[in-house]
């Protein structure tokens, strides 16, 4: 058995159960915990030559991967802009032309929002379509209120610029 294989075998035997329990507590899913533990072992193995304390590096890598997984799960929950259509309610008695224009506005707004980076899109959707406060968004996504503020501002700017470009291209004044 080579030194590398011996290193990994010892680390696995000494740490696998405790690491799996630790990560499962962070992510709440046995399946997700197994994936994270496997990735953490791989990262530790790849850096075995430069790591001074492999067990500490292993747990730190697993913790960081778990945090990333939780953050990604929170963002994915709010990543969809399917709620845009619910906002575009057209009153009864509208003409087919009015309905077509409304549908086009919804499509353009959806395209504009889909172009935003994932976290910015999540923040923007929570603020605009769910009327969440900056504090609620920050708590829900695990980011600072200042970051929420920046994402909302960016979302407004980029959405405005995109819509303006689209309307100008169609020869329509916004």
What are the pLDDT digits (tens) for 16-40?
Answer: 899 999 999 888 888 899 999 999 9
Q: Are 47 and 86 in contact (CB under 8 A)?
A: no
Strands, E, within the chain: which ranges? none
pTM: predicted TM-score of the whole model, two decimal places = 0.45
Question: Which has more pLDDT, 152 or 71?
Answer: 152
Angle at 13 between CA 12 and CA 15, to 5 degrees: 65
CATH (residue range 84-169): 1.10.10.10
Distance between CA atoms of residues 27 and 33, nearest Å? 7
Residue 81's nearest CA partner among 45, 122, 40 is 122
> What pLDDT does residue 30 have?
87
In the chain, where does the domain assigned CATH 1.10.10.10 lie?
Answer: 84-169
């Amino acid at each position: 058995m080579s030194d590398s294989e011996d290193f990994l075998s010892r680390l696995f035997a000494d740490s696998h159960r405790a690491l799996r329990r630790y990560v499962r507590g962070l992510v709440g899913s046995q399946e997700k915990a197994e994936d994270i533990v496997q990735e953490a072992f791989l990262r530790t193995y790849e850096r075995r030559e430069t790591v001074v304390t492999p067990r500490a590096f292993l747990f730190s890598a697993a913790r960081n991967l778990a945090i990333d997984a939780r953050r990604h799960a929170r963002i994915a929950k709010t990543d969809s802009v399917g709620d845009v259509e619910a906002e575009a309610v057209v009153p009864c008695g509208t003409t087919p032309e009015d309905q077509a224009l409304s549908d086009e506005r919804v499509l353009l707004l959806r395209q504009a929002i889909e172009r935003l980076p994932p976290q910015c899109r999540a923040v923007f959707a929570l603020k605009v379509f769910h009327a969440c406060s900056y504090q609620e968004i920050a708590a829900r996504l695990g980011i600072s209120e200042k970051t929420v503020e920046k994402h909302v501002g960016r979302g407004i700017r980029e959405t405005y610029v995109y819509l303006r470009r689209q309307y100008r291209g169609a020869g329509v004044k916004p």
